[in-house]
Amino acid sequence: MKRTWLLGFGFFSISLTWALYNAFVPLFLDNYLKSAAMIGFMMTIDNYFAIVLQPWIGHRSDKTTTRFGRRMPYLLIGMPLGAVFASLIPWHTGLLTLVLFMVLMNLSMSIFRAPTVALMPDITPEQERTKANGVINFMGGIGSVLAFGVGSKLYGLGSYVPFLFAGVVMLGCLIVLKMNVREPVTRAASQVGQAVTPAPLKPIRIKEQLDKTTLLILGAIFFWFVSYQGVEALFTLYGTKRLGMSDGAASFSLTFFSLAFLVFALPSGWLGAKFGKKAIISIGVTGLFLTFGTLVFIESVLWLRVLLIIGGIFWACININSYPWIVATGREESIGTRTGIYYFVSSLAAITSPPLLGWLIDAFGYPALFVSASVGMLLALLCLLAVDSERKAVSST
């Protein structure tokens, strides 16, 4: 558990950086682009790289053997680069340099994101992974709360301040991880607490991982991330254009969603371990379907924030349990590969969602944001209902 809490610092820095990026970069783009669809498209540029890099790097890390471990070398390269380019974003001099810094930052983040996530199941037995995922997402939730709460205040001091803050935090978290997390070279090593000489690994083929159960789960993941990513990327514009909120108030409102996610991260992992990951995810998807549908009719800032709190609880039910479920349907040696597939699908959703929802906003007005998000959750629920049962991980023998 100590290693799990320390590993949470990696998720803390990732969540902090992404939350700041999604909250404030659309405001930078709004200075140059007036179409919500075009802004949504620009917010997906990074994912065109991530959709290729993350599956490849996750798969590659399964086969990496160094004295630092399988995953750590990718953190040592990607995190410093990510910190530098994140800090440079607010120093853009025009649309070209803004897009350049965005792309470079997100390329850097793609280098270490999948290996960081794969570290959790590397050091955690299968039956404890939902609880461990609750712990590390709790740390990630703290990062999001700081981004939307403290970040909105720092933005008032200067647009560069929150991004500089994110860069410093990322470097600090890398130091903590390097000093305290000693990843095992093999699963056997993790169970006895010591490093061993790695045995030859059975080849992992991505195609072999895509059975019917996995494909249905990935379909659900795609649809709920279409909903979530679209709302997160376009919410500050929704708040300012639809509800007349200030930039800071709109970004601060997302704090309520993130805070609820933070509070419910640990209970959600416990519930997933006790009642099954599929059951708890289904409750979360149903709840967000109803929450997003209700937000269509809300014009009060107070009720908006109340519903965001409720939505954050349901999102914890989904997000805490989904990754351990995907990992549990494959062999232990395929953790990095399946992590890459997971992020391939979520990145594909991130590519699809903001421009699609932005186009619907342009066509039908800002209420279309939550109508579309609600429909996405309904489609995710249909995929979940088609999954017969919650299958245990395949033996690694």
Give the model confidence (pLDDT) of 320-365 as tens digits: 999 888 888 767 667 777 888 888 888 888 788 888 888 898 888 8
Amino acid of residue 351: I
Average pLDDT rounded to a whole number, residues 262-277: 88
The kind and range of the H/E element at 120 are helix 95-122
User: Does the structure show a pLDDT above 50 at 199?
Assistant: no
Q: How far is CA 84 from CA 87, 167, 169, 224, 331, in A?
A: 5, 6, 11, 31, 36
Per-residue pLDDT band for 126 (boundaries 50, 70, 90) equals: confident
**Geometric angle at alpha carbon 287, from 285 and 291, rounded to 5°:** 115
What pLDDT does residue 168 have?
93
367-373 contacts, C-beta under 8 A, 24 or more apart:
367/242, 367/296, 369/230, 369/231, 369/234, 369/235, 369/238, 370/231, 370/292, 370/293, 370/295, 370/296, 371/293, 371/296, 372/227, 372/230, 373/227, 373/228, 373/230, 373/231, 373/288, 373/292
Evaluate whether 306 touches 212 at the Cβ level (below 8 Å). no
Amino acid of residue 204: I
The contacts of residue 300 (CB under 8 Å, 6+ apart) are none
Half-sphere exposure of residue 151, counting CA atoms within 13 Å on the CB side? Answer: 32
Its pTM stands at 0.72
Distance CA 368, CA 67 (A): 52
User: Does the structure show a pLDDT above 90 at 89?
Assistant: yes
User: Does the structure show a pLDDT above 70 at 218?
Assistant: yes
User: Does the structure show a pLDDT above 60 at 372?
Assistant: yes
What pLDDT does residue 233 have?
78
Instruction: Report the greatest alpha carbon distance in the chain.
Output: 61
Ramachandran class of 112: left when φ > 0, alpha when ψ lies in -120 to 50, beta otherwise: alpha
User: Which of 26-30, 138-142, 148-152 is modeled with the greatest confidence?
Assistant: 26-30
CATH number listed for the domain at residues 2-192+206-385: 1.20.1250.20
User: Does the structure show a pLDDT above 90 at 309?
Assistant: yes
What pLDDT does residue 202 have?
54
Q: Residue 72 has which token pair?
A: 């750590």
